[in-house]
Amino acid sequence: MGDVVLVAGLTESFVTGLIGATVTASTPLILAALGEVVAERAGMLNLGVEGIMLLSALFSFMVALTTGSLFLGFLTGVVVGIIAGLLHAFLTVSLKADQVISGIMITLLGAAVTAFVGDDWASRSIDGLEKTYFPVIGEPLSAVPLVGEALFYSTPTAFLAVLLVPVVWYGLFRTNLGQEIIAVGEDPEAADTVGVPVFRIRYGVTVFGSAMAGLAGAHLILAWINQWSTGMTSGLGWVAIALVIVSRWRPFYALGVAFIFSSLNALQIRVQGLELGDGLVGGLLLDPAFISIYPYVATIVVLAWVSRNELDERLGRPEALASPYTREE
């Protein structure tokens, strides 16, 4: 009887820890994906999310460590994202440069700059953003078995990411501005004809999406990992872009897919130190090094499945995605 109680306690502890790690790991994906959903709804593809997250992570870490202020660190991450967004918008909206090339350029620039500047900061760490109860209702609800502590006792940025999902959904689908954004992404010429400020909206959504990527990078280092290392995003920016496609450009779908991906990522961390035994299941399939590829394999499989079914049901891809718009005189 005692062994059963012990196993049950260990199982509950493992599941609770797994859910908590999933919430933490999903936060940067949710933030970056929400920003990209809004941007792509207006036809603006930004493949520079990975580079923006790297740049914002490094510079927010540098500022927070130098000033001792996590608030200034997060603010720096957002500002870095805004600057990158303005650069991307200027190149693609004003100069009509190819959105794919511009985004890849930003990612390569971010990787190069952080690799060069980040060497002097690699051995340092910071006391990250502390967990707190969700305002008003968090403390009593945190006692709910399995999910209570994970959902109602976390970092403020994790709460913000989840709360932004309905806000972005409402903004896109229930406001005039959201309808204008969608109209620009579907047919910018028709939108321009009826007086929608196409260029202003495309600038705005690009800056917003990049700022969200900057916030995601700041969360990554100030609320999760707390130590800089070269290439620390490990492809999360690319995954966020893939999540937008898989979620069919819908905020709530993006939240669900981000949780699925992050649960696989969190599983890798939680199984470390467990005695899993030998054999295919215990030795290989549950090996932490092998589990680390699960999220990326899952993303590829889902993308392949979505592509295969695109002929049967339209994904909802904006018609003018990645297409420059030139106003005819």
Identify the weakest region by mean pLDDT among 118-122, 154-158, 251-255.
118-122
In a domain, 212, yes or no: yes
In a domain, 193, yes or no: yes
In a domain, 319, yes or no: no
In a domain, 313, yes or no: no
In a domain, 78, yes or no: yes
CATH code, 66: 1.10.3470
* pLDDT score recorded for residue 316: 73
* pLDDT score recorded for residue 145: 80
Higher pLDDT, residue 59 or 6: 59
Q: What amino acid is encoded at 13 in this protein?
A: S
* pLDDT score recorded for residue 4: 45
In a domain, 285, yes or no: yes
Q: What are phi and psi of 43, to 5 degrees?
A: 90, 10
* pLDDT score recorded for residue 293: 72
> H or E element: which one contains 25?
helix 2-41
* pLDDT score recorded for residue 300: 72
Question: 184-237 pLDDT, tens per residue?
Answer: 999 999 999 999 999 999 999 999 999 999 999 999 999 998 999 998 998 899
* pLDDT score recorded for residue 123: 79
Question: 279-305 pLDDT, tens per residue?
Answer: 444 445 556 566 667 667 766 776 666
Separation between Cα atoms, residue 329 and residue 327, nearest integer Å: 6
Mean pLDDT, all residues of the chain: 86
Domain of residue 122 covers 2-308
When pLDDT is cut at 50, 70 and 90, the band that residue 85 belongs to is: very high
In a domain, 318, yes or no: no
43, 320 Cβ separation under 8 angstroms: yes
> H or E element: which one contains 153?
strand 153-154
In a domain, 74, yes or no: yes
Separation between Cα atoms, residue 233 and residue 214, nearest integer Å: 12
- The domain tally of the chain equals 1
* pLDDT score recorded for residue 285: 54
Residue 132 to residues 27, 98, 149, 216, Cα–Cα distance (Å):
15, 43, 10, 19
pLDDT above 90 (res 72): yes
* pLDDT score recorded for residue 312: 44
Give the pLDDT mean for 64-71: 95
pLDDT above 70 (res 84): yes
